[in-house]
Chains A and B, each alone.
Chain A
Amino acid sequence: MKVMDRVDLRRNLGLLAGVVVFFMIAVMPVWAGAGNGNAKKGEKIVKTRKLGNCVACHYLPNVESPGNIGPNLVEVMQGYTLADRKDVTQWIRDARKFNPHTIMPPFGTNKILTPKQINDVVAYLYTLKK
């Protein structure tokens, strides 16, 4: 009986741990403020010249001499809530929707970044919210 109990307990603990881990994985992106998308990959994309190269124009943290053509994206992100995710995504997909004379490249429309990469960038941007 005692042995059985212990086995059951172990099983249940395992199950519990599994549930906790599953739950953490499920909510992690929300928790990071992203909905979905990989913020770590996003950070790489915004800083890589051949990819987003957002730092050519925008201030972003931990980058040596970012450009100043566009607004500081840390400041920008304080003004957005999770409900604005669609707008943030649209800015990157094609900023011409908001400003037809923008200098910002249409990353989605011109296939500079894939939808998945844009999602990752958005996830990263939301980590900048204080």
Chain B
Amino acid sequence: MSKKISILLKMLVFPAAVMLVTGTLGSMTGAQAATQSGSKIEQLTQSMSYAEYQKRYEKYYGNFTAQMAENGNPADFLIDDGKDLANKVVGSKGKSCASCHGKDALKLKGAATTFPKYNAKLKGVMTLALQINTCLKNQMGAKPLKYESYDQLALTLYVKSLSNGMPIQVSIDGPAKPFYEKGKIAYYKRHGQLNFSCAICHVKYAGYKARSNLISNNKHHADHWPCYRLKWGKTGSLQRRFRGCMKNMRVKKPPFQSEELRNLELYLTYIDNGDRIQVPGMRM
């Protein structure tokens, strides 16, 4: 428990320092990225540095969510149950995750740091949740788990927790490149009745308030999911969060693990390269 407290505190207090150390502050901002890939991407300047955004966050919300998480993050239950599920035999082949990945699937320590990643069979981006469902289906002869179901979130969260504290290192080179580019285009694309894009809020107006909601900076968007969200009263995935913003944007929500959402997940996770995985998160 005390280890968790310190991790959570670090999550709030030190990310700026971590970013400076890993040298990602300058190179990964949306604004800079926008200059690299040509005319399709709207040129938007970053509203403020991550450190400045963080100052505003602390002034506005204090360490309210960190304090709540200290008293126990409800998502911790999913991690415990995910561990049990990893050892449970399911499907026609009589296997569990542990059959291939060792007791408690401990051989998967570090695996989550490279997700999402290009997958040749899929000819696209493989996310951790999709990988788990693919294993269930192809390796174990079991039914894939419904996205956002308790068991699917529990397994994803458990496997990800094995990489807690390890730096994210997704690749956007080689065959992954076009999917990263597509994710970025989707992030900057204006659409829906309100003509918003993800970037207009999370790059140009990060740190400003949409009514009473502080708009988050897109740095550190991908390092703490699946996450317990107070507004949901539930643990959910990064893609569920994407779809929440899409609903507010009045655009048609793509299905879970659709190509668009997987590309977006790669784009946002790459921004967090070098940042440490910290699951489960806790957010308003």
Q: Which residues of A contact B (CB under 8 A)?
A: 55-57, 64-69, 101, 103, 105-106, 110-112
- Please tell me if B210 contacts chain A, counting CB pairs below 8 Å: yes
Q: How far is the CB of A76 from chain B (nearest CB, A)?
A: 17
Let me know if A69 and B210 touch, CB within 8 A: yes
Which B residues between 189 and 211 are near A, CB-CB below 8 angstroms? 193-196, 200-201, 204-205, 208-211
Q: Could you say which residues of chain B place their CB within 8 Å of the CB of A57?
A: 210
Closest 5 CB pairs of A and B: A65-B212, A105-B194, A67-B209, A56-B211, A69-B208
C-alpha gap A111/B215 in the complex (Å):
26
- Please tell me if B42 contacts chain A, counting CB pairs below 8 Å: yes
- Please tell me if B44 contacts chain A, counting CB pairs below 8 Å: yes
Residue of B with least CB distance to A105: B194
C-alpha gap A56/B281 in the complex (Å):
27
Let me know if B195 and A110 touch, CB within 8 A: yes
Let me know if A68 and B208 touch, CB within 8 A: yes
Residue from B43, B194, B196, B211 with most neighbouring chain A CB atoms (10 Å)? B211
B209's contact among A64, A68, A105, by CB below 8 Å, is which?
A: A68
Residue of B with least CB distance to A53: B211
Residue of A with least CB distance to B193: A110
Q: Could you say which residues of chain A place their CB within 8 Å of the CB of B196?
A: 103, 105
Q: How far is the CB of A23 from chain B (nearest CB, A)?
A: 42
Q: How far is the CB of B201 from chain A (nearest CB, A)?
A: 7
Q: Could you say which residues of chain B place their CB within 8 Å of the CB of A112?
A: 193-194
Q: Bits for B194-237, please: 1 = Cβ < 8 Å to A, else 0.
A: 11100011001100111110010000000000000000000000
A–B Cβ pairs within 8 angstroms, 13 of them? A65-B211, A65-B212, A66-B211, A67-B208, A67-B212, A69-B208, A69-B210, A69-B215, A103-B196, A105-B193, A105-B195, A110-B194, A112-B193
Q: Could you say which residues of chain B place their CB within 8 Å of the CB of A56?
A: 210-211
B211's contact among A55, A101, A110, A111, by CB below 8 Å, is which?
A: A55
Q: Could you say which residues of chain A place their CB within 8 Å of the CB of B211?
A: 55-56, 65-67
C-alpha gap A64/B212 in the complex (Å):
9
Q: How far is the CB of A106 from chain B (nearest CB, A)?
A: 6
Let me know if A67 and B193 touch, CB within 8 A: no
Let me know if B205 and A103 touch, CB within 8 A: yes
Let me know if B193 and A103 touch, CB within 8 A: no
Let me know if A67 and B195 touch, CB within 8 A: no
C-alpha gap A110/B193 in the complex (Å):
6
Q: Bits for B74-87, please: 1 = Cβ < 8 Å to A, else 0.
A: 00000000000000
Let me know if A103 and B204 touch, CB within 8 A: yes
C-alpha gap A106/B42 in the complex (Å):
17
Q: How far is the CB of B1 from chain A (nearest CB, A)?
A: 35
A106's contact among B195, B205, B210, B212, by CB below 8 Å, is which?
A: B195
Known contacts A101-B44, A103-B201; decide if A67 and B210 are in contact (CB<8 Å).
yes
Q: How far is the CB of B19 from chain A (nearest CB, A)?
A: 25
Q: Could you say which residues of chain B place their CB within 8 Å of the CB of A111?
A: 193
C-alpha gap A111/B192 in the complex (Å):
12
Q: How far is the CB of A32 from chain B (nearest CB, A)?
A: 27
C-alpha gap A67/B208 in the complex (Å):
8
